[in-house]
Amino acid sequence: MRKIILSVIGVLLIIASFLFAQKLIADKNKPKPVQAKVVKTVFTDTVQNTTIPIVIAANGNLEAKRRLELYSEVQGIFKRGNKLFKPGQEYRAGQTLIKIDAAEYYASVQSSKSNLYNSISAIMPDLRLDFPDIYDKWQNYLNGFDLNKTTPKLPEMTSDKENYFITGQSIVSNYYNVKNLEQRLAKYSITAPFSGTLTEALVTEGTLIRSGQKLGEFIDTSIYEMEVAISKTYASLLKVGESVTLNNLDKTETYTGTVSRVNASIDPTTQTITTYIEVKHENLKEGMYLEANLNAKKESDAIEIDRNLLLESEQIFVVKDSLLDVIDVKPVYFSDTKVVLKNVPNGTVILKKAVPGAYSGMLVKPFKETSNTNNK
């Protein structure tokens, strides 16, 4: 029984081996399938060289062109004014920003003015007797002297004798002492030199102000400047008065400015030149972040394409007889997304969009819009 079973198994193994050998021979002789050529559809464009404006993109924050940092040169109590000294408060030119209590100092000024008046009055009898020709001049000065107004300028001295006599009576020195006190008295009140808004207030009514203390900051809200750094390559192209288009980050607002100043020196670290753009608009605020587009120059016989179409070897793909090829080009300007090229012949068919895995000799088919698409 055992021999019969082993014999059957042996016969089955022989038959299986024979069938397997036949299958291997059949597979070996079977022809391999021919892979169909893959033709990629690409977007193309035909080159037509034109004049491309070189627009330099820059950005920065707005700052008020006219700014006044308020400091006190005198000491005293901050008196309450017609308007609260608070950030955001608007003032017109000539309005009082800060008024410091000057009652004590005002009294000393009036005392000095009175002494000057008395000194001149005391020499009037001598002038009548010794200098009758100048008596009327000094008498008219006394008649116009008002203690409640600014001290008028002393009469002009026409002779050396008059000069020696008046100076010898200490009238000239007293006069300049009074003028010095009046100048200091004026510093107890700070007025707005231009219309604007208070952006910083460091004191309030009733505060004891000390000499040299910073009181706040006042800006002109009608005109702003934006400082931008431009590559030194375009330093010779920037002109004062050049129009500049500015917009916010969301591209929802557009403003027009002008180049007001161009720095004469180049930053040795960044190799950039600082340019100042002046802009006016009622919606602008200090600190706003804007993007600027400066028209530097115009490049003739050039084209503009996406930067991702330019290869590292300064070549671009072209389509020739349904095959991709490369040609050498000359980049003249790079922006964030675009590049301006020269030396691309008119009529050359180039790629409009990048093709993943593209190589020279690749079989391609230009995309053609259907008639339905054209009708839409």
pLDDT confidence tier of residue 35, bands split at 50, 70 and 90: low
| pLDDT on residue 374 | 46
Chain center to CA of 299? 26
Percent of the chain with pLDDT over 90: 34
d(CA 291, CA 313): 32
Separation of alpha carbons 129 and 165, rounded Å: 13
195 or 321: whose pLDDT is higher?
A: 195
pLDDT for the residue 371: 45
Mean pLDDT along residues 140-151? 90
pLDDT at 212 over 50: yes
pLDDT digits (tens, 9 = 90+) for 217-269: 999 999 999 998 887 777 777 778 888 889 988 888 899 999 898 888 888 88
Decide the pairing of beta strands 50-64 and 289-306. antiparallel
**Which stretch of 30-34, 208-212, 326-330 has the lowest confidence by average pLDDT?**
30-34
3-state secondary structure 212-255: CCEEEEEECCCCEEEEEEEEHHHCCCCCCCCEEEEECCCCCCEE
pLDDT of residue 373: 43
pLDDT band at 27 (very low <50, low <70, confident <90, very high): low
In 3-state terms, the chain is what percent helix, strand and coil (to 5)?
30, 35, 35
Cβ atoms 342, 330 nearer than 8 A = yes
Residue at 252: amino acid letter: T
Whether the per-residue pLDDT at 30 is higher than 90: the answer is no
Is pLDDT of 281 > 70?
A: yes
Q: Is 152 left (phi over 0), alpha (psi -120 to 50) or beta?
A: beta
Amino acid 278: pLDDT = 93
pLDDT > 50? residue 170: yes
Q: What residues pair up with 261 in beta bridges, in sequence order?
A: 276
Query: What mean pLDDT do residues 33-38 have?
Result: 57
pLDDT tens for each residue of 103-137? 989 999 999 999 999 999 998 998 888 888 888 99
Separation between Cα atoms, residue 170 and residue 112, nearest integer Å: 13
What are 284-319's pLDDT values in tens digits? 999 999 988 877 778 888 999 998 888 888 889 898
Residue 354 neighbours by CB distance under 10 Å: 14
Amino acid 222: pLDDT: 92
Classify residue 302 as exposed, middle or buried by CB count within 10 Å of its CB (0-12, 13-18, 19+): buried
Query: pTM of the full predicted structure?
Result: 0.65
> Does the pLDDT of residue 376 top 60, yes or no?
no
Average pLDDT, the chain: 86
